[in-house]
């Protein structure tokens, strides 16, 4: 086995090997630097979703019978991946217009929940919503957070259930 001292750099093959090794070393250092310092930081996000009473994301209520089962329940979950705690409010609004714009300003919330959600945490609340008149409804769950001025702002995150009451 040859040592570095015994390498004949005048040989074309050995010069090629040394050049490739130096290039790989430089590329590895630059790639490591990019990965550690220059790589763009991922943006934080929040998630809002609903679970049924068995805590599954299936078989949501679709039809209620007035006077028999005119109240339905779901779990409302908020996940925080923003990198810091978030002061969250979920507004539950019942809308008869099946094509509203979001956020729904024209309807007052039926329910609302507020919680400070730690980074990486999941906040879960049970919501029971009564619908006592026959008709077609959209039950909207809107996620709002507090901004730097301590004002509530809509996050553009919402989910909705279409419910028919017979």
- 18 and 54 housed in the same domain: no
C-alpha span between 60 and 91 (Å, rounded): 19
CATH label of the domain that carries residue 137 = 2.60.40.3880
C-alpha span between 139 and 60 (Å, rounded): 12
Sheet architecture: strand order including 63-64: 63-64, 152-165, 135-146, 86-95, 111-117
- 66 and 134 housed in the same domain: yes
Mean pLDDT confidence for 146-163? 90
- 51 and 119 housed in the same domain: yes
Express as a percent the part of the chain with pLDDT over 70: 92
Domain region containing 16: 4-38
At residue 28, φ and ψ (nearest 5 deg) are: -65, -40
Predicted model pTM: 0.74
At residue 62, φ and ψ (nearest 5 deg) are: -120, -30
pLDDT at 4: 53
């Amino acid at each position: 086995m040859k040592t570095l001292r015994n390498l004949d750099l005048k040989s074309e093959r050995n010069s090629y090997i040394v050049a490739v090794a130096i290039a790989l070393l430089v590329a590895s250092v630059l790639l490591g630097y990019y990965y550690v310092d220059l790589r763009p930081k991922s943006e934080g996000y929040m998630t809002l979703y609903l679970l049924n009473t068995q805590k599954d994301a299936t078989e949501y209520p679709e039809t209620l019978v007035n006077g028999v089962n005119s109240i339905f329940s779901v779990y409302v979950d908020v996940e925080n991946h923003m990198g810091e705690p978030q002061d969250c409010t979920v507004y539950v609004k019942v809308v008869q217009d099946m094509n509203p714009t979001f956020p729904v300003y024209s309807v007052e919330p039926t329910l609302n929940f507020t919680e400070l959600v730690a980074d990486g945490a999941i906040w879960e609340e049970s919501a029971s919503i009564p619908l006592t008149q026959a008709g077609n409804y959209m039950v909207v769950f809107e996620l709002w957070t507090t901004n730097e001025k301590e004002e509530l702002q809509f996050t553009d995150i919402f989910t909705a259930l279409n419910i028919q009451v017979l």
